[in-house]
Chains A and B, each alone.
Chain A
Amino acid sequence: MFKKILLVEDDKFLRELMSKKLLSLGYEVSTAPDGETGIEMIKSEKPEVVLLDLILPGINGFDVLEKAKKDPETANIPVVILSNLGQSEDIERGLKLGAKDFLVKAHFTPQEIVNKLKTILE
């Protein structure tokens, strides 16, 4: 069974790279370029896991996370934050809002990110 992953990321190139990696490993990938679309797609696609950026045009990632966790329909979908914020306050806030993990983009390779997703999907 292919696992479905939703990638919420506003940078086109990063989105492409991550999608490419995930697709090559046999995952099914949907992408959202902003927070608004992200929320809609979490509801409509029901992915197994969400990779969520924080600095997004319009609604930011924290708000997306909060909305997803408040909606009983989507509350159980695990969300992993993948952002270039990464100060203790940001991490704390993300985890408090219910994120499974907080990854700083510049500190992880795509493979390492996939490994994190794997442990969550198992």
Chain B
Amino acid sequence: METKFANIIENKEDALRRVRVALLNILEDTEDARKIAVDERNKTMAIIENLTDGILLLNVDGKVEIISPMAREFLKKEEKDIIGNNFFELINDKEFEELKELLKEDGKIKAIHRKEIAVGDNLNLEVSSVFLKAESVNKGILIVLHDITRDKLIEKMKTEFVSIAAHQLRTPLSAIKWTLKMMLDGDAGKITEDQKDLLEKTYISNERMISLINDLLNVTRIEEGRFLYRQENIQLEDIVDLVVESSTELLEMKKIKLDIDVPKDLMPEVKVDKEKMSLVVQNLLENAVKYSKEGSDIKIILENKGNEALFKIIDKGVGIPKNQQERIFTKFFRGDNVIALETEGSGLGLYTSKNIVEAHKGKIWFDSGENNGTTFYFTVPFVK
């Protein structure tokens, strides 16, 4: 009997020893796993701490869990005042108004991608916010603040430089224009036919320079964001009429037949900056003429699309090569085929037009094939 008990006890003790070893092993593994987790966390934190962008991690309730030093600097707050607090309460100051407006929607944070805002007078930030999801469950929100103050400043300087340079360039060009014209008018004595011919050609070159500078000024004004000046309610038909009227000389020079097709019933009015919208129509018409053969025809069609007006201009010109169509609206871009034609152009017309149309909440696009003509379209919403 006794040996039997002793055996049982021994067996139990043995089992317990094995359990102990197993438990120790598990503990050791957990400790290792914990160490790895801490290492990982430290690594992640080190990355966040040293990023040049400001990073904020909010939990699902909009409370701050992590904030990087750069973000603290942007928000001008101490870490202890931030962690665990509601993000919107932290940016309640007037200087963060734009940031708040950008991120807040129905009391919650919305996802945005690279939007520019100003904070106070001396800081410009590009803001992105992303929902962090694990297996489609929302785990929080990541906000990235990227400092673009320097980029903004350089952009502003560039714009101002072009604007000032353009104005300064106009003065000597005016002097040249006036002199040539007065010589052509015989104000400085009679001139021969040969002299007249040369002076006329010089005059035309100078006019090109003046219009190039006007294009540059238009572009810089778009970039300064003050291009739409005064918007008024007007018929798009009237704008087209005005531009066509002032382009008769241009059309006659290339013997181009222009057909205009407008809806029988007057369309509703559009709210536009008349001068700028005319510039769009003029750019598109000039392009159509420039890139069409002599004696070709061009058609302008206006259509009532219910809530917007559609403008179409169809030419049978050289077209836009397929591989360059993507870049057609970029600044200073000119198609290879039109450069080869030795036509004049600054590569600013379509860039300007796109900006103007979009500033009016319209769209601009085209259909084209090389040597197959081009149709440009744009829309402007009607006044409701």
Complex Cα–Cα for A85 and B217 (A): 11
Nearest residue (CB) in A for B228 is A88
Residue contact A105 to B187, C-beta cutoff 8 Å: no
Contact A106/B177 with A20-B187, A24-B187, A84-B170 known, Cβ cut-off 8 Å: yes
Asked whether A110 lies within 8 Å of B182 as measured between CB atoms, the reply is yes
How many of chain A's residues have a CB under 8 angstroms from any CB in B? Answer: 21
Bound complex: CA A49 to CA B177 (Å) = 23
Q: Are A84 and B230 in contact (CB under 8 A)?
A: no
Give which listed residue, A14, A55, A104, contacts B178 with CB less than 8 A: A14
Whether A111 pairs with B230 at a CB distance below 8 angstroms is: no
Q: Chain B: which residue is nearest A109 at the CB level? A: B181
CB within 8 Å for A88 and B275 given contacts A107-B210, A110-B182: yes
Inter-chain CA distance A85–B222, complex, in Å, is: 17
> Are A88 and B178 neighbours in the complex by a CB distance under 8 Å?
no
B367 on interface, CB distance cutoff 8 Å: no
Indicate if the CB atoms of B182 and A17 lie closer than 8 Å: yes
- A11-B275 Cα distance, complex, nearest whole Å: 30
Complex formed: what's the CA distance from A55 to B174 in Å?
A: 15
Please name all residues of chain B whose beta carbon is closer than 8 Å to the beta carbon of A24 when the two chains form the complex. 187
Distance in Å from the Cβ of B280 to the closest Cβ of chain A? 16
Q: Are B175 and A13 in contact (CB under 8 A)?
A: yes
Docked complex Cα distance between A68 and B178 (Å)? 28
Residues of B within 8 A of A87 (CB): 217, 221
Is A84 touching B174 in the complex (CB atoms < 8 A)? yes
CB proximity to B under 8 Å, residues A50-85: 55, 84-85
**Interface contact A110-B170, CB-CB below 8 Å:** no
Contacts of B210 in A (CB 8 A): 106-107
A104 to B175, CA, bound (A): 12
- Is A106 touching B187 in the complex (CB atoms < 8 A)? no
Looking at A17, A21, A55, the one whose CB has the most chain B CB atoms below 10 A away is A17
Asked if A18 is an interface residue, CB under 8 A from chain B, the answer is yes
Inter-chain contact A11/B175, CB cutoff 8 Å: yes
Min CB–CB distance A108 → chain B (angstroms)? 9
Shortest Cβ distance from residue B374 to the other chain A in the assembled complex, whole angstroms: 30
Q: B181 touching A105 by the CB < 8 A rule?
A: no
The reply to whether the CB of B229 lies closer than 8 angstroms to some CB of chain A is: yes
B371 touches A (CB below 8 Å): no
Residues of B within 8 A of A18 (CB): 178
A14 pairs with B187, CB closer than 8 A: no
Q: Contact mask A34-61 → B, CB, 8 Å, 1/0?
A: 0000000000000000000001000000
> Counting CB contacts under 8 A, is B15 at the interface?
no
Q: Mark B330-348, 1 if CB is under 8 A from A, else 0.
A: 0000000000000000000
B211 CB, nearest partner CB in chain A, Å: 9
B182 touching A21, Cβ below 8 Å: yes
Are A11 and B171 in touch, CB under 8 angstroms?
Answer: yes
Instruction: Give a binary string over B146-177; 1 marks a CB under 8 Å from any A CB, 0 the rest.
Output: 00000000000000000000010011011101
Determine if A17 and B171 form an interchain contact, defined as CB atoms under 8 angstroms apart.
no
A106 touches B174 (CB 8 A): yes
Q: Does B185 contact A (CB under 8 A)?
A: yes
Tell me the nearest residue of chain B to A85, going by C-beta: B167
- Alpha-carbon separation in the docked complex, A17 to B179 (Å): 7
Known pairs A17-B179, A106-B210. 18 more at Cβ < 8 A? A11-B175, A13-B175, A14-B175, A18-B178, A20-B187, A21-B182, A24-B187, A84-B170, A85-B167, A87-B217, A88-B229, A89-B229, A104-B170, A105-B170, A106-B213, A109-B178, A110-B182, A111-B185
Q: A-contacting residues of B (Cβ < 8 Å)?
A: 167, 170-171, 173-175, 177-179, 181-182, 185, 187, 210, 213, 217, 221, 226, 229-230, 275
17 inter-chain pairs at a CB distance below 8 angstroms, sorted by A residue, are: A11-B175, A13-B175, A14-B178, A17-B175, A17-B182, A20-B182, A20-B187, A21-B182, A84-B171, A85-B167, A88-B230, A89-B226, A105-B171, A105-B174, A106-B170, A110-B182, A111-B181
Residues of chain A whose beta carbon lies under 8 Å from any beta carbon of chain B: 11, 13-14, 17-18, 20-21, 24, 55, 84-85, 87-89, 104-107, 109-111
9 smallest CB-CB distances across A and B, nearest first, come from: A105-B174, A84-B170, A88-B229, A109-B181, A106-B170, A106-B174, A17-B178, A106-B210, A13-B175
